[in-house]
């Protein structure tokens, strides 16, 4: 055995180092041991010095046991699906910490008996949308629609406008989702125009409900016509409104975006929405409406398969009851041009070619299609885009005209300095 191999420290010796021992507590024994052995093999192969095994092991260990990494969203897309859509508020993150332990998620502490699951989260939703008689939560918006179709229309017909039979992303289509539940679809109208009589003539004893879907990821303009919920309410059958992006109440920044309170006030019997979009909370599907209908959904066998966990319930309640989540703050934020100018000036002073430019941001995530939101960005040479993605933390920018644009729309003001340091590190 040569001197190099003899000088490589054994696994137990490396594990005894305080830095490595602390990593075991954080990451688990198996992951750390595997890393130690991989680094030791590099030393045996002559790729590193034996004396550097401990330091190289510490450097090679991940920051956490999860493979997920925090990424700065500088794309100008507020709800970026590839980045997990809505970032949670500080209140929601703190609620997750509490919920991670044992909690009273399904316990009545006063009596000691089983309690209603997630009662406080449902209460928060009903406080936020008083026109809803009852609320239920499942694991995403598509699950909410599937539950409604199964409980209310399996073996029957769902009447919906042809122009609202949308694809919701990654190849998943609303018609396929609905028919998978055993319901049949009765399409009415044409792609661009539908009238109240089209719905009325399609109704029969086989009708389960009328479905109104907000086409939240595209816009049809020109020679168009649709029937609002307020006119569908008089058809004599249940009206289900899938509003998509999850506004609970109207927002003046997005005047064309439907919201749960308005849809219920207009006569919808059930409203379906996502929790991780404009609401700014965790991924989940919200069902709000008439108590009789929501109870049927809650007691359906499929509801058990779609049940959310205590972490989702905690984060959802904190989002609804707590301070404005980051998504709402971003929509109403001011001072973006000034922030971009300050960041560009700081980078230019460090010798980096940076320029503040005006940009247009979007909501994204299947919300507010066609809505342009004024924003500002720092423009850098295009080569920075990949370097920033591979940095620590990764910064996801967008490319435009061979320039790397750091759009500030979705970035909190406190994160401007970390972004500046990331650019300096990538230079």
Q: Which residue has the higher pLDDT, 290 or 170?
A: 290
Q: What is the mean pLDDT of residues 152-177?
A: 89
Q: What is the mean pLDDT of residues 244-272?
A: 94
Domains 72-82+329-426 and 89-323 share a fold: no
Domain ranges of the chain: 3-60, 72-82+329-426, 89-323
Q: pLDDT band at 128, cuts 50/70/90?
A: very high
The label of the residue with tokens 């703050």 reads 329
**CATH classification of 72-82+329-426, choosing from 3.90.1150.180, 1.10.1040.10, 3.90.550.10, 3.30.565.10?**
3.90.1150.180
H/E stretch holding 73 = strand 72-73
Write the pLDDT tens digit of every residue in 217-234.
667 777 878 999 999 999
pLDDT at residue 36 greater than cutoff 90: yes
Give Cα 368 distance to the centre of its chain: 15
The label of the residue with tokens 């909190």 reads 412
Q: pLDDT band at 70, cuts 50/70/90?
A: very high
Residue 1 has what pLDDT?
Answer: 47
Q: pLDDT band at 127, cuts 50/70/90?
A: very high
What Rg, from alpha-carbon coordinates, does the chain have? 26
Q: Which residue has the higher pLDDT, 31 or 245?
A: 31
Q: Average per-residue pLDDT in the chain?
A: 93
Residue 401 has what pLDDT?
Answer: 83
Task: Give the span between the Cα atoms of 87 and 277, in whole angstroms.
Answer: 9
pLDDT at residue 322 greater than cutoff 60: yes
Q: Determine what percent of the chain is predicted with pLDDT higher than 90.
A: 85
Q: Which residue has the higher pLDDT, 418 or 402?
A: 418
Residue 65 has what pLDDT?
Answer: 84
Q: Which CATH class for the 89-323 domain?
A: alpha beta
pLDDT at residue 424 greater than cutoff 90: yes
Q: pLDDT band at 3, cuts 50/70/90?
A: low
Q: What is the pTM of this model?
A: 0.90
State the first-to-last Cα distance of the chain, in angstroms, to the nearest integer.
45
Identify the CA nearest to 126 among candidates 10, 3, 294, 266. 294
pLDDT at residue 140 greater than cutoff 70: yes
Q: pLDDT band at 166, cuts 50/70/90?
A: confident
pLDDT at residue 216 greater than cutoff 80: no
Q: pLDDT band at 6, cuts 50/70/90?
A: confident
Q: Determine what percent of the chain is predicted with pLDDT higher than 70.
A: 98
Sequence length of the chain is 427
Identify the CA nearest to 78 among candidates 358, 420, 373. 373
Write the pLDDT tens digit of every residue in 333-374.
999 999 999 999 999 999 999 999 999 999 988 778 778 899
């Amino acid at each position: 055995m040569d001197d190099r191999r003899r000088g490589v420290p054994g696994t137990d010796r490396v594990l005894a180092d305080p830095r490595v021992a602390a990593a075991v507590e954080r990451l688990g024994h198996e992951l750390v041991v595997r890393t130690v052995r991989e680094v030791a093999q590099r030393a045996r192969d002559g790729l590193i010095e034996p004396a550097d095994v401990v330091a190289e092991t510490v450097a090679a260990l991940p920051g956490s046991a999860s493979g997920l990494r925090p990424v700065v969203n500088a794309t100008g897309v507020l709800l970026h699906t590839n980045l997990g859509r809505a970032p949670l508020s500080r209140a929601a993150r703190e609620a997750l910490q509490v919920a991670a332990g044992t909690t009273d998620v399904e316990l009545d502490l006063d009596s000691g008996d089983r309690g209603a699951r997630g009662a406080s989260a449902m209460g928060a939703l009903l406080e936020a949308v008083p026109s809803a008689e009852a609320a239920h939560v499942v694991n995403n918006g598509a699950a909410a629609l599937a539950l409604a179709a199964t409980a209310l229309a399996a073996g029957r017909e769902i009447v919906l406008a042809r122009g609202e039979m949308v694809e919701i992303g990654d190849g998943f289509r609303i018609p396929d989702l609905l028919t998978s539940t055993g319901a049949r679809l009765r399409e009415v109208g044409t792609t661009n125009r539908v009238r109240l009589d089209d719905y009325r003539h399609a109704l029969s004893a086989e009708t389960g409900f009328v479905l109104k879907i907000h086409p939240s990821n595209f816009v049809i303009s020109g020679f168009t016509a649709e029937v609002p919920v307020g006119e569908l309410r008089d058809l004599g059958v249940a009206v289900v409104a899938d509003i998509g992006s999850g506004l609970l109440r109207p927002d003046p920044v997005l005047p064309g975006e439907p919201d749960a309170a308005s849809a219920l006030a207009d006569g919808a019997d059930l409203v379906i929405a996502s929790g991780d979009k404009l609401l700014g909370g965790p991924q989940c599907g919200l069902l709000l409406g008439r108590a009789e209908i929501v109870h049927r959904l809650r007691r359906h066998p499929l509801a058990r398969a779609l049940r959310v966990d205590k972490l989702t319930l905690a984060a959802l309640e904190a989002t609804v009851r707590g301070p404005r989540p980051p998504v709402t703050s971003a929509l109403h934020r001011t001072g973006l041009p000034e922030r971009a100018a300050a960041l560009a000036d700081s980078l230019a002073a460090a010798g980096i070619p940076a320029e503040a430019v005006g940009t247009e941001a979007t909501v994204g995530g299947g919300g507010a299609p066609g809505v342009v939101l004024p924003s500002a960005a720092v423009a850098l040479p295009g080569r920075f885009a990949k370097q920033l993605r591979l940095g620590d933390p990764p910064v996801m920018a967008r490319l435009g005209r061979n320039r790397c644009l750091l759009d500030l729309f979705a970035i909190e003001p406190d994160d401007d300095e970390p972004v500046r340091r990331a650019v300096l590190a990538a230079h």
